[in-house]
Amino acid sequence: MKLRIFLVTAILIPLACTAAFSQGKPSTNIPHLEKHGTATQLIVDGKPFLVLGAELNNSSASSMEYLRPLWPKIAATNLNTVLATVSWELMEPEEGRFDFSLVDGLIQDARRYNLRLIVLWFGSWKNGKSTYQPVWVKTNQQRFPLVQDEKGKGLPTLSTLSDVNRDADARAFAALMKHIREVDGEAHTVIMMQVENEVGVLGPSRDHSAAANQAFAGPVPREFMDYLQKHKDSLIPELRKRWEAAGFKTSGSWEAVFGAGMETDELFMAWNYGRYVGRVAAAGKAEYPLPMFVNTWLRQGKDKPGEDIPGGYPSGGPLPQVLDAWRAGGPAIDILAPDVHVPNYADWCAWYTQSGNPLFIPESRGDARGVAHAIATAGKYDGIGYSPFGIDRLANPEGELGKGYQVLSQVAPLILEMQGMGKVTAVLVDQETPRSKVRLGDYTIEARFNQGRGPAPGSPAVGAADRVAGLFIQLGPDDYVIVGRSMGVYFESATDATQSVGLAVVDEGQYVDGRWIPGRRLNGDETPEWKALWFGGDRYTIQRIKLYRYR
Ligand code: DGJ
């Protein structure tokens, strides 16, 4: 009898799971995204998870031997997640023959070091070019057509206007997801997937192949028109303006509906990339519905002429001005994510949190400025996580990233509890913007860069950081946890200007397994002007405080 129950269960459970996967229904146990107040969080093993990540160099995960000495250093850098490439060329060296040894090696080694993985699928594209597709794809352009420029010259970039390209990529990605489900569907070492890498056309602002020209001259697809009409009042402002300027038409060619110009070329490409990558993601999700994101090569500033126009950066990638085309074209993609290698970090975070897009940063810097950005991502923008590029070089527990993640991992559970609830926020301060104020609860909190008991404004701080973050978490009406570095922190009443604010209690300390362990009680010289907090030293520290008011 027992054996029969076991056999029935052994047969029925996997079937039931497969059926659920095929319908793309998330089982609550699979890593997934979930709303928490106004935030969207990544849930891993039933609990919210803040990705303190870092990305390997592109070629590192093609050799487990190469990675072997790196793992202990990576783990010692206090990350919880590694972002690693799995490439189509190595996974499907011959059509239909899959080799999963590298992904298996990654999963095993990550587990050994108690790390999670985000797998980056380098399929049809990487940085606008097609270099990671297998040789049998690369060398057969009759079957797998390329993008063409205005003169009809082929570029080393697979065309989005080919169902054959898309289906070959989707089949391989689905095989990868099926395999990950089989080897990791219980342990959840792999928690998210990046589909492709920094897609878009480099050079011309759109594909000029015959299929692309025909689609461009033809009507804007009905699904996109329907989306635009349905979301008319919540469209990204740039797109709404273009559509409005051309008369809010509800049908017509791309140029008739949006006007002629590079921006329309870019929108056309965004729709086509969104459709293609969305289908690849959907094929993968049908096997195993992990959260999936796409990453973006951003438009560069005016200081890099030529790189601030579509084609100078990959045209059709998921940039803010075309987010709606991606949303409409690729609904299976959960997050549109910026790779922030440009200086105006906060602007990009604001642009990428428009219309409810959850913020995840797959690539950025790993220095002191990067740590400040990681804190702001989680604290100010309710972000899912942060990942500097090139952990091969950054791995070092005493480096900026190692020190920063050590403190962030202590407060991560608190941040996650308060995200989306209006009880956590953060500010960035630096030489150009040395002061920043924010309201949290009934207090206005101001961070002052290098000011308080520290060096005079303008002079470098101890263990110099050229930009720092202040993280503020509200525990109760007068109770706060503050994380900072190289800054003074000042308080005012936000509700009654006649009241002064005093420090009732200031403790420095640490969170160990979520429990607060106080260290020194700070007062006197350690609380500048007897009314502010001072965060000195060469790393972020934590203070837990109680405020009071007096007249
Ligand atoms: C952006 C790309 O997405 C990465 O794969 C890598 O090439 C970095 N640039 C290098 O900085």
- Most distant CA pair in the chain: distance in Å? 81
What are the Cα distances from residue 283, in Å, to 82, 91, 123, 165, 280?
24, 17, 13, 14, 5
Question: Quick check: 311 and 203 in contact, CB under 8 A?
Answer: yes
Task: Read off the pLDDT of each residue in 73-97 and give the average, rounded to a whole number.
Answer: 98
**Residue 64 pLDDT > 70, yes or no?**
yes
Averaged confidence pLDDT in the chain:
93
Instruction: Tell me what pLDDT residue 489 has.
Output: 97
Give tens-digit pLDDT for 409-424. 999 999 999 999 999 9
What DSSP character marks residue 163? H
169 Cβ inside 6 Å of ligand 1: no
130 lines ligand 1 (CB under 6 A): no
Closest CA to 484 of 529, 444, 452, 441: 452
- Beta bridge mates, 313: 310
Mean pLDDT over 459-463 rounds to 53
Cβ–Cβ < 8 Å for 292, 334:
yes
Substitution candidate for ligand 1 out of 198, 300, 307 with most atoms within 8 A of CB? 198
Q: What is the CA radius of gyration of the chain?
A: 25
More confident residue, 5 or 233: 233
- Measured distance CA(337)–CA(51) in Å, rounded: 14
Question: Which residue's CA is minimally distant from atom 11 of ligand 1?
Answer: 389
Whether 133 shows a pLDDT value over 90: the answer reads yes
Question: pLDDT tens digits, residue range 377-395?
Answer: 999 999 999 999 999 999 9
The 10s digit of each residue's pLDDT in 229-268 is 999 999 999 999 999 999 999 999 999 999 999 999 999 9
Q: Sign of the CA dihedral 158, 329, 322, 337?
A: negative
Mutate to test the pocket of ligand 1, among 127, 196, 387 (most ligand atoms within 8 A of CB): 127
Distances (CA, A) of 3 to 6, 14, 90: 5, 17, 42
- What 3-state class would DSSP assign to 42? strand
Residue closest to 360 by CA, chosen among 382, 380, 386: 386
Query: 197 in ligand 1 pocket by Cβ < 6 Å?
Result: yes
pTM of the model: 0.93
The structure tokens listed for 266 are 């870019």
CB 123 within 8 A of CB 196: yes
Residue 482 parent element (H or E): strand 479-484
pLDDT for position 113: 98
What's the rounded Cα separation, in Å, for the pair 430 and 309? Answer: 29
Q: Is the pLDDT of residue 407 over 50?
A: yes
Q: What's the half-sphere exposure (Cβ side, CA atoms, 13 Å) at 425?
A: 14
The protein residue with its alpha carbon nearest to ligand 1, atom 8, reads 389
pLDDT tens digits, one per residue of 19-47: 333 344 445 699 999 999 999 999 999 99
Q: Nearest-CA neighbor of 450 among 547, 343, 532, 334?
A: 532
pLDDT in tens, 278-307: 999 999 999 999 999 999 999 998 899 999
Confidence of residue 72 (pLDDT cuts 50, 70, 90): very high
Structure tokens given for 311: 């084609």
Structure confidence at residue 22 (pLDDT): 39
Task: Give yes or no for residue 125 CB within 6 A of ligand 1.
Answer: no
Residue 6 has pLDDT above 80, yes or no: no
Question: Among 522, 524, 160, 544, which residue's Cα sits nearest to residue 326?
Answer: 160
pLDDT at 4: 37
Quickly count: other Cβ atoms within 10 Å of residue 193's Cβ: 27
